[in-house]
Amino acid sequence: MRKIFKKASFWPALIALIAIIICVRNYSPGTWLTGWDTLHPEFSFSLGFGRAISGAWQEHQGLGATASQAHAAELPRLIFLFLASLLLPVSFLRYFYFFVCLLLGPLGVYSFLKKIVFEREVAWRQNIPAFLGALFYLLNLGTVQHFVVPLEMFATQYAALGWLFLLMTQFIQTGKKNCLLLFGLVSFLAAPMAHTATLFYVYLVVVVLYLAGFLIFSPQKIFLRKRIFLLFFAILVTNFFWLGPNLYYVCRHSGEVEASKIHQLFTDEAIAQGQEFSGLAEVALFKSFLFNWQVYQPEVGFGPLLRAWQVHLNNPEVSFLGYLFFLLVAVGLATALFKKEVVLVSWLPVFIFLFFFMMILNPLLSPIYSWLIGRWSLAREILRFPFTKFSILLIFVEAIFFGQAVRVLFAKRKIISLLVAAIITGSLIFYMRPAFAGYLVSPQMRIKIPNEYFEMFAWFDQQTAGRILKLPMPDLWGWNYYGWGYQGAGFLWFGLKQPLLDREFDRWSQYNQEAYRELSYALYSQNSSLLSSFVQKYNINWILLDENIFDPNHDQKVLLFEETKVILSQQNEFQLAKKFGPKISIYKVGNLQNNKIYNLQSTEEIVGANYDKVVSQLPAKTALQLTRPEKVIKVDFEKFFLFPENCGPILLDQSFAYDLLDAGRGFKLSAQAANACVKLPLFQLPLPLNEANLWLKVDLLKEGDANFCLFDNRLGRCAAQRYDYPFFEIVGGAANYQLQFSLVANAYTELKVRQLSLTFYKQNSNEEAISLLQEGSLGNLPVLQRQDTSCGIAPQKYFRKITGADDNQYIEYFSQNGNLCDTFYYPQLLHNQGYALLVESKNIQGLPIRFCLTNYQTRRCDLDIKLHEGADFKTQLFLIPPQSTGEKGFDLNLSNYSIGQVPSVNQLKAVKIFPVDYQWLAPIDQKNKRLFFDQSFDSGWLALGWEDGGPKLLKHVLINNWANGWELNNEGQRPWIFFWPQGLEYLGFLVLAACFWWGFRQGNAQNNKNRRQYGQIKRVADLKKAQQKRADGK
């Protein structure tokens, strides 16, 4: 046994054994590891290599887009997967990559701790602390959250950190060229961690801090400066092939991501999620927003992604262990201050930096956070999810100090150290028990992909190139749910050589987002000619209709499967070309006008109306044309049997009463701790005969806060109104309505109503429908008569109240740790009319209000908007396009969402809808012949022609509001088109190859020199031996 413990290979072998057991327990034979943010280059290596080598422009992303992510950085991983594919099944490759990363990560930490941090210790004082530090790196909640819904860039960084800092530190200490060469090689192999470049930028800051610490605390500063410079040069050289194009994107296009609709809607919620996990207790355990994340499960619907871990952590002893491990890290941190070892002390500023930014969303640090995002736009993107950018690096640093604590506290005697190692190992395994039960990787990510998709990939590979439109696309989120189990951002483009128009690419290009808006308009207006114009405009050759997709959040008719088939059948240019299984249909688009050179005709395009043009249609005053009164009724309440109702929640100690006043000419409604109401049915009145549609004017005298509305019996709620008080619109007969008076009271309150007079008018059929469509004046808003509603998981606190002066009232919404919902109803709005929505609001605290305009017909959210975040009232305008004829009705659903204990407080002053002309047609210039290039417009595209005996850059123009074009002087001209940032990637490849060639040459020269020196030494030694023998012989 002692011999086993003495062997240097025992401890890394034990680490490998534990990691392999976890891997085996988290593998499901016959499945693919897919879902969430999926990368699947193994579907087609030729496509993967092509897109990486030409990574500056991503042609497959819808209309084409500048690479926002470092696709070129995937090249080392592609090489690894391709070599592995020669031996392993394709379905296992993604599993294999993550399992290798899970194994390499702790082995790298072990090597770093043993060879660098504990280098001066005896063997057993090196091995045991290094082993436990590496085991901590493997078995913690942070590692779990990076593998539960795995993404390659995180796994790559996890695997590489130990080896990168090992070789980096060895070169700093020794200056050996071989260490620098190996560091450069590992740095190149670790490039996939830069798939989202912000992860690499944070790593680069950590390298700067670590090496700065080395420079400050080391006595050998003269040698270190040159070595540090060479290290940074090696990092730049081995990453420039993706870094150059990415810097182009940051400089030219970074604002487009922030301007995208999905980013605007989701960013505040993401930050609020981060705030909930920015406390010391959460950061100590590495808990993140994923503990709030929901995943769809067919049997039960939506549930927590980390349910098994939540149950496990609810055991007090488990959480206690987590905090105990963090205490050990703190002890290791404290002892490092006293040890004053250069390596350990150099990690102190790194730890402070990482821990600080893991807590940056904490409300106590909000001034610093606001200052950072105000100065650097990139900071807002990095800090949107601090956990994803800083946690792996923090795990690595904490593993160092965890090993240091073991070294200081327990590595006094060998037998005690072995006993402590066994106890801590058992505790870590118990702490991570669900990982050994198959919950390191979520079971929802281990699924079978139907063979129909691979048959489709093979079929498309034999077809001509051309853009594919994927349907359905019911919302803006680009998150797909398939009936066979997949849920995530999508996967089809990894197997299709053709560009794919998919919502996942919206945030990377404004033109992709605009194309979706036009497509949505065409589909949901059920207009086949508009769809035909859409495919012509965007050069779409194929339509892929996948009925495996479903929407777990809405009625399935929002997907418009049958309606889409009808639309496609109405145009001869759409022909069903192929079916794969019963649910995947491929339509070929015929008669596509895609000539490269053409004369511009008198075409017209739809352009969005600007704010001023829409507002100019808003009437200065609500217009209502009235005829002579049909009927005037003085209400005598003695003739009606009315009784009070509780129109709010049932509470303790409620009381309310109804009494007549003035011999029936009025009534008194009193209440305490209740929302009391009285309804006067209109069918009990002597109404005008044979008139279904009427105007009703209400006159009364009141004492107290009288809220009243026209209650629609068919809807079970107060009806929306187009005109301000005192006018109400009656549609379909007055017998369907009641006049509802309500009183919301906490303390005892009275409402007195006298001299109620109702005047009925015929509706004027010639009236122009240009007036405001709103829910009455604010004091009369029907929403005030409804009780507060929570549409989330039981919030701790929420309320809605009216506040402000009589002439300046508004609704205030408050919610904490939940979602307060409200709805404005517009059942009479026709879908074939375009509208503008005006909202006046302000955001006091927390997240701003979200609005969803729900279509009665499709139950789809036609308009998903976030109101502004300012603390002053601001009016915002949103356009609602016309849709299918013959249908009507919208609900405007309000969400006041709060995450955790940070409340969301918002005030709403006005919600108005008015009809507008949605389309203004702008003619396109038709002067010159132009070259059309069907990739989305970017100034990086250049066309080099030949004129007057020499090369000349052609004038770059925007065609059809999305594509690149160049003006030509003659039709026969054939210029060379290229994307110049792509040259930065090719330059990076050349520099990388040259540096590695130089490095290997230097290494060979050094080896040859060493061999010559060894030969000389050996010859001298042999000569001395021979001389000694001769001397001994004498």
Mean pLDDT of the chain: 81
Which of the listed ranges 519-528, 704-713, 785-794, 925-934 does the model predict with the highest average pLDDT? 519-528
Q: Per the domain annotation, does 341 fall within a domain?
A: yes
CB-CB contact of 109 with 133 (8 Å): yes
Could you tell me if 163 and 266 lie in one domain? yes
SS3 967: strand
Shared domain check, 217 and 169: yes
Could you report the per-residue pLDDT of 665-698, keeping only the tens digit for each? Answer: 888 888 887 778 888 888 777 776 566 677 788 8
Q: Which of 765, 784, 815 is the last residue of a domain?
A: 765
Percent composition of the chain: helix, strand, coil (DSSP 3-state, to 5)? 45, 25, 30
Residues 88 and 162 in one domain: yes
Looking up residue 529, the CATH number of its domain turns out to be 3.40.50
Residue 58 has pLDDT above 60, yes or no: yes
Mean pLDDT, residues 875-898 taken together: 77
Domain boundary among 980, 1009, 1024: 980
* 3-class secondary structure, 342: helix
CATH number for 654:
2.60.120
Residue 1024 within any structural domain of the chain: no
Together in a domain, 213 and 343: yes
- Could you tell me if 145 and 7 lie in one domain? yes
In the predicted structure, residue 928 carries a pLDDT above the cut 70: no
Confidence at 123, pLDDT banded by 50, 70, 90: confident
- What secondary structure does DSSP assign to 732-755, as a single string? S-GGGEEEEEEEEESS-EEEEEEE
User: Lowest mean pLDDT: which of 407-416, 713-722, 917-926?
Assistant: 917-926
pLDDT tops 60 at residue 620? no
For residues 292 and 390, membership in a common domain is answered with: yes
What whole-number distance in Å separates Cα of residue 546 and Cα of residue 569? 16
Per-residue burial over 166-184, b = 16 or more CB atoms within 10 Å of its CB, e = otherwise: bbbbbbbbeeeebbbbbbb
- Asked whether residue 298 is domain-assigned, the answer is yes
DSSP E strand stretches across 885-962: 888-897, 904-915, 920-923, 929-936, 941-947, 950-953, 956-959
Q: Are residues 567 and 666 in the same domain?
A: no
Residues 441 and 490 reside in one and the same domain: no
Tell whether 127 and 182 lie within a shared domain.
yes
* In-domain check, residue 986: no
Could you say which of 707, 741, 765 is where a domain stops?
765
Domain range for 509: 449-594
pLDDT greater at residue 137 or residue 1009: 137
Please check whether residues 648 and 739 belong to one and the same domain: yes
Give kind and range of the element (H or E) at residue 249. Answer: helix 221-259
The Cα 42–Cα 85 span in angstroms is 8
Confidence check: pLDDT of 955 > 60: yes
pTM across the whole model: 0.78
In a domain, residue 500? The reply is yes
Reference 752, options 679, 700, 699; nearest CA is 700
pLDDT at residue 1018 greater than cutoff 70: no
Q: What is the pLDDT of residue 75?
A: 95
Give the per-residue pLDDT at 6: 55
Please give, one letter per residue, the 3-state secondary structure of 171-182.
Answer: HHHHCCHHHHHH
The verdict on 327 and 454 lying in the same domain is no
Count the domains in the chain. Answer: 4
| Residue 39 counted as domain residue | no
Residue 281 pLDDT class (50, 70, 90 cuts): very high
585 and 669 share one domain? no
